Structure 1
Amino acid sequence: MASAGRPKRASQALLQEAAFELFQHRGYRNTTVEQIARTAGFSRATFFNCFSSKAELFWLETDALIASLRAHLEAALAAGDPPQLRETLLKFAEGLSSQQIPWALQNYRLLEAAEDLTASGASRVLGLNTLFQRYLEQQYSALDRPAPVVLRSQAAATTAMLVSALLGWVDAGVTRGSFGDQLSLALIH
């Protein structure tokens, strides 16, 4: 449980802010959970009430983006006659700006935390894959729905293209342009 009077989300944000400051000065590997908690004004126990590991600090903004994407896909399905997944994703990407790229994703190479980011991000990628598969399943009527293996492979390919677009967008730095443009290039028709 977070400290009295502070909502868990506020505690997470304070811990994340302290961690990123320490990561910049000490490096990811040389920063301990105890140092992060102490810098943020919390106990080690509070840290573990908010995050399961140090690597989980990287995902607050990304998890919020995924939740926003989930809501966008659900709204498209609820409206009836949903567009193709590609079009729905491109519509979502139109609203993203460079300021919404999570700090940790922009700086993961500098932090020397790529392996931990990859490991802690795997569940999120699998979650996106499941989200896309459900969208595809609901997009088709029962009469024209492809075989489950086809839907799974379409969802997996879309997930891979989205992740590739995101990494390409982050790596492009100040010349990145819009995420929608990057995603459009990555999503094969």
Structure 2
Amino acid sequence: MKENLSYPIGPFVPPENISSAQIAVWIQEIEELPAKFHSAVSDLSAEQLNTPYRPEGWTVRQVIHHLPDSHIGSYCRFHWALTEDNPTIKAYDEKAWANLSYQNNVPIESSLGMLDHIHARWVVLLKNLSDGDLEKTYVHPEDGKSYILREVVGMYAWHGNHHLAHVVNLKKRMNW
């Protein structure tokens, strides 16, 4: 079976019923992601960091910088949903952000550190959500859909694992 380079762990498909046990698993995955990412990229050279994980895909460096950008956004979305009634959140063009040229000059340690710190705060927030909090929602302006926080926890656990798989699988394919 051919590896899917775009979606190496498949697309996110939430379970029909999301239990407290499932939420706990997802929170643990979010908590563990920074250490796993550090481990996956710590031995890479500049040339390897500048290698796309797939043809027409982002470089490893872009993936590293993308994660804190995206997860800071999600952290803020949780706050908006918890403090406002079904707010419309701000979307961003992640591809445009990934292509900002200054990021080629940002040490990956900066983004890895941001990932460490945002996840440390985010995990405390997530572990303190009540069942009622998990039912709160926000609206994404691009599709007009309301997203329930219970499901969003899973989306971002998946998101981190999705990008980790991009890097880990590239290293395997390249024998790094």
Both structures adopt the same fold (TM-score exceeding 0.5): no
Please state which structure has a larger fraction of its residues in helix. 1
Structure 1 length-normalised TM: 0.27
Bigger relative contact order, structure 1 or 2 (CA pairs below 8 A, ≥6 apart): 2
- Asked which structure has the greater CA Rg, the reply is 1
